[in-house]
Chain A
Amino acid sequence: MSDHDYQPTSKLGKWFNDRLPLLTLSNHLSEYPTPKNLNYWWTFGGILTFCLIAQIVTGIALAMHYIADSDLAFASVEHIMRDVNYGWLIRYVHANGASMFFLAVYIHIFRALYYGSYKSPREVIWIIGMIIYLLMMMTAFMGYVLPWGQMSFWGATVITNLFSAVPFVGEGIVSWLWGGFAVDNPTLTRFYALHYLLPFLILGLVVLHIWALHVPGNNNPIGIDIKKPSKDTVPFHPYIVIKDGFALLMFIIVFAFFVFYSPNILGHADNYIEANPMVTPAHIVPEWYLLPFYAILRSVPDKLFGVIAMFASIFVLVILPWLDTSKIRSAVFRPLYRQFYWILFIDVLILGYMGAMPAEGLYLLVARVATAYYFIHFLIIMPILGRKEKTIPLPLSITEPIIGGSPDLANIIKKKSLN
């Protein structure tokens, strides 16, 4: 990176920067060379940063009024909704913010899958991203428990019981998680403490995620390595800042639609009934963003293997950089992968739908096929496809196909010899 020799112009700036090079950092961030062909799918990194900050800010506001006690929690949430000034707004932004956060993270992940952003040299960015994703799921799950409604209570019961599948020590782990013999007050207070802690861990990992990104630089829609800085790049500020800002505004419109016009559509009516350990709601479903994993869990008839399959479905994503044997990053140049990518996308949507349906009859059968295909995609198709697929020749640079004519290999060699 060329900004190490950056010098502030003002005397004070220079004095400060010699002692703490914050201005060098800010100069690096604004000059950061970015591929000039980034499309709008690349704006979700910025959108996700916004989501995290929005959740932390609204969360701290809610924490000033919420009471983590099994006798008072449910009433304190209603108190926030009815009595606290703008409490309804802050809570609806926070609750829908979780859904928006996951919506953005799924787009971000599927963008990485399409354009091969997880491949060398960006494996560490990808793995940090997966850790963030796991922490997000834990944070969202614990946050959903805090209102202490029926879905909170029974969701917490079902999810913590997953650990009872562990041989020998399972029961011990579960009662350790609960702090008792069932989900109860000790469970609520510790979930509250962790729900407050984890977002700050996520924030720290986001810094690492961006740091790791700034070492190789951004991938781009055609997935080739580019020289930085060059004719193929633009500085982050103002080009990407403006583009990200515009995308963020569009995203906030969708966000605001949910908050102001259908704030409960993504939630579940049963969660407006206070937790009752004697009665399980007729139909327990997790929040929409966890449904595909829930479908995988339920599609395996054995308890332990169901739990293993669910965790494995995330683990195959973590090791994806090594399962995908193709050297070509972008699906633009991988005609077969492009088709498998969309099949996988539909497969995950089907899993999500099956997760919301009762686990019986045809639903169960479809969920089983979709679960099998999910693993086949990552464990069989990806390794084989990289070796067998006939890919389309890559252009030499981002500008080459436009001003340099065809990306045809013969032309490229000719052009190289001319240079």
Chain B
Amino acid sequence: MSDKKPKRREFLFTASYAVGAVGVAAVIWPLIDQMNPDASVKALASTEVDVSSVKPGNTITVLWRGKPVFIRRRTQDEITEAKLVKMEDLKHPEKDEDRAKNPEWLVMLGICTHLGCVPLNDKGDYDGWFCPCHGSHYDTSGRIRKGPAPTNMEVPKYEFVNANTIKIG
């Protein structure tokens, strides 16, 4: 058959391109992946915080994985206010019970879910937090109520090691 040779050549070309593409991808991947968080960054996964000195109505800010975490000891008024909010009024509906297992303590990443600024305490139209960058208002449960942020402030994984110590991460 006269067309056998070109076919064989085409097969060789295609096979060469395929092997070449796999080779290029294999070389590029380490160059891309080196930019991902490295082992030393990942190793700083958890932080323990002593909260015994925090009085009701006060917030402390601690650094966890380079990010600020708000730990607020809420007053009874704030807890009531957070619990009374109707789900249909929320942009990102979450119950207060689900955000603060122990209602007295609200632990969340102090990072506005819009573009990552640190919101200010006791500010805004909902008695919670206000982000000065682009005007997002959060309530006493750290839920987004008004402004461009799409979701509530994130609650990280944490646990009470004992009555006075919170372990984040």
Q: Which residues of A are interface residues toward B (Cβ below 8 A)?
A: 154, 157-158, 160-162, 164, 175-184, 186, 190, 277-284, 298, 301-303, 306, 358-360
| B37 contact from A179, A279, A302, A358, Cβ within 8 A | A179
Highest count of chain A CB atoms <10 Å: which of B38, B115, B131, B135: B115
Q: How far is the CA of A282 from the CA of B130 in the complex (A)?
A: 11
Highest count of chain B CB atoms <10 Å: which of A158, A180, A183, A279: A180
Highest count of chain B CB atoms <10 Å: which of A178, A190, A283: A178
Which residues 126-148 in B have Cβ within 8 Å of A in the complex? 131-135, 148
Query: Does chain A have a CB within 8 A of B149?
Result: yes
| B135 contact from A161, A178, A359, Cβ within 8 A | A359
Chain A residues whose CB sits within 8 angstroms of the CB of B83 once the complex forms: none
User: When A and B form their complex, what is the total count of cross-chain residue pairs whose Cβ atoms lie within 8 Å?
Assistant: 84
Q: How far is the CA of A278 from the CA of B111 in the complex (A)?
A: 10
Stretch of B48-56, B64-72, B92-100 that contacts chain A: B64-72
Nearest-neighbor residue (CB-CB) of B110 within chain A: A278
Query: Does chain A have a CB within 8 A of B21?
Result: no
Q: State whether B35 touches A181 (Cβ < 8 A).
A: no
Which residues 62-118 in B have Cβ within 8 Å of A in the complex? 63, 65-68, 114-118
Q: State whether B41 touches A277 (Cβ < 8 A).
A: no
Q: State whether A175 touches B65 (Cβ < 8 A).
A: no
Contact sample, A vs B, 8 pairs, CB 8 Å cutoff: A157-B117, A158-B116, A178-B37, A179-B37, A179-B38, A181-B66, A182-B65, A278-B63
Beyond A186-B41, A282-B132, A358-B135, whether A277 also contacts B148 by CB under 8 A is: no
Query: Does chain A have a CB within 8 A of B47?
Result: no
A71 to chain B, nearest CB (A): 13
Interface residues on B, range: 20 to 34
A41 to chain B, nearest CB (A): 36
Beyond A190-B35, A280-B118, A298-B148, whether A181 also contacts B65 by CB under 8 A is: yes
Q: How far is the CA of A176 from the CA of B41 in the complex (A)?
A: 12
Q: How far is the CA of A306 from the CA of B134 in the complex (A)?
A: 12
Known contacts A178-B37, A301-B148; 15 further A-B pairs (Cβ under 8 A): A154-B117, A157-B115, A158-B115, A161-B115, A176-B36, A179-B41, A181-B37, A181-B67, A277-B118, A278-B118, A282-B132, A284-B133, A302-B148, A303-B115, A303-B148
Chain A residues whose CB sits within 8 angstroms of the CB of B41 once the complex forms: 179-181, 184, 186
Q: How far is the CA of A180 from the CA of B134 in the complex (A)?
A: 24
Query: Does chain A have a CB within 8 A of B61?
Result: yes
Nearest-neighbor residue (CB-CB) of B112 within chain A: A280
A135 to chain B, nearest CB (A): 19
Chain A residues whose CB sits within 8 angstroms of the CB of B149 once the complex forms: 303
Q: How far is the CA of A293 from the CA of B63 in the complex (A)?
A: 32
Q: How far is the CA of A164 from the CA of B150 in the complex (A)?
A: 11
Q: State whether A161 touches B35 (Cβ < 8 A).
A: no
Q: State whether A186 touches B38 (Cβ < 8 A).
A: yes
Q: How far is the CA of A157 from the CA of B115 in the complex (A)?
A: 7
| A157 contact from B35, B116, B132, B148, Cβ within 8 A | B116
